[in-house]
């Protein structure tokens, strides 16, 4: 059976996460239902990452097998037609090797977190950013972020229900970009690693926000990491500012 990879964009607001769940809307279910309309018997898809309720994606990747060959462009067009009106788009489709695996073959995942600081309510990006009404100081946040780069035990920043076998992960990048926005500032957190723990990114961002607000000193983040204790974590940021931005493979399946 030929195997295909999809690059997927979606608004996570109306979904209870990526993974199919009985009685609840999911991105996986929406795509599998679209596949079933063009392929008798349908197909189960496997994603590169399981985004949580309300989390968005700019470049999720998934693979699945079909009973017959499809020209990738036609496959993309057909799926996008049947996905309407769900806020899910297939950006690209590609025929891949039979042993390609969207999750296990990935060598890096990049997340983007958008945080807006301004007094007026966010209108154009409602549901797409975490809005705060107080000001943030980006330099202390950057100083604190440097303590988190590298290979560490991230137990402090791991959800209690996380099923990963080990809390040890290597964080390759945690950059904070500050940009002007109408009557305020926007902060973009660029975070990269091969893999992440459950709620790790949102825990990191929520903790760094406390530093930017002046409630924590940067050194407290280093101490929280070393504590390996969930109780030492700052507040967990809400999901609506988080995006799975890119999944990288040894060879780009969509090149």
Please tell me the predicted confidence (pLDDT) of residue 40.
86
Is residue 118, in this structure, part of any structural domain at all?
yes
Question: Is-catalytic flag, 175?
Answer: no
CA 205/CA 141 separation, integer angstroms? 9
Please provide the average confidence, as pLDDT, over all residues in the chain. 97
- Alpha-carbon distance values, 250 to 94, 108, 189, 192 (Å): 15, 9, 24, 16
Please tell me the predicted confidence (pLDDT) of residue 68.
92
Is residue 254, in this structure, part of any structural domain at all?
no
Please tell me the predicted confidence (pLDDT) of residue 163.
87
Instruction: Please report which helix (H) or strand (E) contains residue 255, including its range.
Output: none
- Among 105, 137, 158, which residue terminates a domain? 105
Please tell me the predicted confidence (pLDDT) of residue 41.
86
Per the listing, tokens 């609840």 go with 24
CATH of the domain at 53: 3.30.70.580
Residues 91, 172, single domain; the answer is no
Q: What is the DSSP letter of 230?
A: G
Give the pLDDT mean for 29-50: 95
CA 79/CA 99 separation, integer angstroms? 23
CA 74/CA 82 separation, integer angstroms? 12
Structure tokens at 50: 């399981």
Active-site position among 11, 52, 172, 252: 52
Residues 72, 120, single domain; the answer is no
Structure tokens at 1: 């059976």
Please tell me the predicted confidence (pLDDT) of residue 255.
92
Question: pLDDT tens for residues 160-211?
Answer: 888 899 999 999 999 999 999 989 999 999 999 999 999 999 999 999 999 9
- What count of other Cβ atoms lies within 10 Å of the Cβ of residue 247? 23
Number of domains in the chain: 2
Is residue 255, in this structure, part of any structural domain at all?
no
> pTM of the prediction?
0.96
- Among 105, 132, 149, which residue terminates a domain? 105
> What is the domain range of residue 126?
108-246
DSSP E strands: which ranges in 80-210? 88-96, 108-118, 130-132, 150-153, 168-181, 184-193
Among candidates 199, 192, 212, 213, which has minimal Cα distance to 148?
A: 192
Question: pLDDT tens for residues 123-170?
Answer: 999 999 999 999 999 999 999 999 999 999 999 999 988 889 999 999
- Torsions phi, psi for 191 (to 5 deg): -130, 125
Residues 135, 193, single domain; the answer is yes
Please tell me the predicted confidence (pLDDT) of residue 219.
98
- Among 78, 105, 132, which residue terminates a domain? 105
Which residues, including other chains, have CB under 8 Å from residue 130's CB and lie 6 or more apart? 113, 114, 115, 116, 205, 237, 238, 240, 241
Task: Give the per-residue SS3 of 51-109.
Answer: CCCCCEEEEEEEEEECCCCCCHHHHHHHHHHHHCCCCEEEEEEEEECCCCCCCCCCCEE
CATH of the domain at 138: 3.30.70.660
Instruction: Assign 208 to helix, strand or coil.
Output: helix
Is residue 251, in this structure, part of any structural domain at all?
no
Sign of CA dihedral 159, 164, 168, 169: negative
Judged against a pLDDT cut of 90, whether residue 13 lies above it is answered with: yes
Question: pLDDT tens for residues 52-94?
Answer: 999 999 999 999 999 999 999 999 999 999 999 999 999 999 9
Give the pLDDT mean for 208-219: 98
């Amino acid at each position: 059976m030929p195997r295909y990879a999809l690059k997927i964009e979606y608004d996570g607001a109306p979904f209870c996460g990526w993974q199919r769940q009985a009685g609840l809307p999911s991105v996986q279910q929406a795509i599998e239902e679209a596949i079933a309309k063009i392929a008798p018997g349908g197909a189960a898809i496997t994603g590169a990452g399981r985004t949580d309720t309300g989390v968005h994606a700019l470049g999720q990747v998934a693979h699945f097998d079909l009973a017959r060959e499809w020209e990738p462009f036609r496959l993309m067009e057909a799926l996008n037609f049947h996905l309407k009106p769900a806020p899910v788009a297939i950006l690209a489709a590609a025929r891949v090797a039979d042993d390609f695996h969207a999750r296990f073959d990935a060598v890096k995942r990049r997340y983007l977190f958008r945080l807006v600081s301004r007094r007026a309510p966010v209108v154009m990006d409602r549901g797409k950013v975490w809005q705060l009404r107080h000001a943030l100081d980006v330099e202390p946040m950057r100083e604190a972020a440097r303590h988190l780069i590298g290979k560490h035990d991230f137990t402090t920043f791991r959800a209690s229900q996380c099923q990963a076998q080990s809390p040890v992960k290597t964080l390759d990048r945690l950059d904070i970009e500050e940009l002007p926005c109408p009557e305020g500032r926007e902060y973009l957190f660029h975070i990269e690693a091969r893999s992440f723990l459950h709620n790790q990114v949102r825990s990191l961002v929520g903790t760094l926000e406390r530093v930017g607000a002046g409630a924590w000193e940067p050194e407290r983040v280093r101490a929280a990491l070393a504590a390996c204790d969930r109780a030492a974590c700052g507040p967990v940021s809400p999901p609506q500012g988080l995006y799975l931005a890119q999944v990288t493979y040894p060879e780009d399946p969509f090149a």
